[in-house]
Amino acid sequence: MFGTNRIPAVAVALGTLLLLLIACGTQQPAGVPTAPPSLPNMPEATVQPVPALTPPPLIAPTSPSGAPGSPDHAAEATTATPAPIPQTAALKLEVTSPRDNAVVSSPTISVAGLTSPDAAVSVNGRLVTPDPDGRFGTDLPVTLADNPLPIEVIATSISGERRWLVLTVIYIP
């Protein structure tokens, strides 16, 4: 079954290959006939030119007449510019309250300070959001079992920079 159909298919493929080689201007190997053998009841292969691919035209955005992007300015080339990456100032961290080694008698202590407005702040693991000026504050509970109480304040900028301070507070009721 396969043997009788393979020979004409191979002959057509070789003939087409030879025609393509000739059409491309390459030299034909010596000893190879210039025309493919004619096969009974087989259509002759023809080479069709391939149309050139062209990119679609760019469509300018519509806007009021005379404005950039309008037909009056269609000839202007527009290039996309990347969005600017926000730059932050150097990260700062200052704890204004309490002082280090402070002695307190209240069961809560107010921790307050100043950092960069875009920083994330944690006080003993609690997330505290600074206001637009960078001020932050939170209250921590204090017990006798916590004495002396370490207060760890960490500020982290959006670029990953970190600053931290550790203060100690002593609770005497």
Domain boundaries, the chain: 1-50, 93-171
Reply yes or no on whether the pLDDT at 25 is more than 70: no
Q: Would you tell me how many other CB atoms lie within 10 Å of the CB of residue 17?
A: 12
Domain 93-171 belongs to what topology? Immunoglobulin-like (2.60.40)
Question: φ and ψ at 97, to 5 degrees?
Answer: -155, 135
In this prediction, residue 44 carries a pLDDT of: 58
List the Cα angle 114/117/120 in 5-degree steps: 85
Confidence at residue 53, expressed as pLDDT on a 0 to 100 scale: 62
CB contact set of 150 (below 8 Å; sequence gap of 6+): 124, 166, 167, 168
Higher per-residue confidence, 136 vs 36: 136
Burial class (CB in 10 A: 0-12, 13-18, 19+), 169: buried
Does residue 136 carry a pLDDT above 80?
yes
Give CA angle at 127 (92, 160), nearest 5°: 45
pLDDT of 77 > 70? The answer is no
Q: Find the mean pLDDT for residues 8-18.
A: 62
Residue 13 has pLDDT above 70, yes or no: no
pLDDT at 7: 57
pLDDT, mean of residues 45-66: 59
pTM of the model: 0.49
